[in-house]
Amino acid sequence: MKTTVKILMTIGLVGTMLSCKSSFNATETMQVEENRNAIYQEIIANPVQLTNFISEAQKSEEAKKILMKAHMEQMESGNMKMMMDKNPEMMQKMQSKMLEKMMESEMGRKMLMDEIHNNKTMKKEMKEKMMQMMDENPEMMEEMMQKMIEKNPEMMKKMKGKMKNEG
């Protein structure tokens, strides 16, 4: 009798242990829309999980392309501008990063200068800033003029012509 009880208890214990094994299957879970949305909400609600998820996504080239495409679509749709308007600090940080990146390469500097020259408001602002900087620091003005003469004498002639026309 004791042996039978021990055998039944052992079978019951082993049976319980085997039935407790995790049966989670990510693919099956993601196929049910309700489960999928619950997982998304859980990730979004927890900043640490969201950061980890994005870090994992950055490891995959395909995921990087998808993230970049989504980012570009956000920028083009105007949603990014609305978000930046609500968060001026982020906007300032992003603009300074973009400017920093553009200034790193020759092509970036040329694109920036072309943009400034084609945009009248930007051109006027740059001109005012340059005039203010030159007024505050005459040595810098002399240095810039010297570089300009060395690099592009035609530009110097143009500027002298403009100065005569304005004066």
Q: How far is CA 80 from CA 25, 47, 53, 72, 164, in A?
A: 36, 20, 21, 9, 45
In a domain, 126, yes or no: no
Residue 46 or residue 112, greater confidence: 46
pLDDT number for residue 21 = 57
| Full domain range(s) for residue 52 | 26-86
Task: Provide mean pLDDT across the span 26-48.
Answer: 84
In a domain, 18, yes or no: no
- Our count of domains for the chain comes to 1
pTM for the full predicted model: 0.40
Other Cβ atoms within 10 Å of 29 Cβ, number: 12
In a domain, 67, yes or no: yes
pLDDT number for residue 80 = 73
pLDDT in tens, 62-120: 988 888 888 888 877 877 777 777 888 887 888 788 778 777 888 877 887 787 778 78
Length reported for the chain: 167
Taking a C-beta distance cutoff of 8 angstroms, is the pair 123, 117 a contact?
A: yes
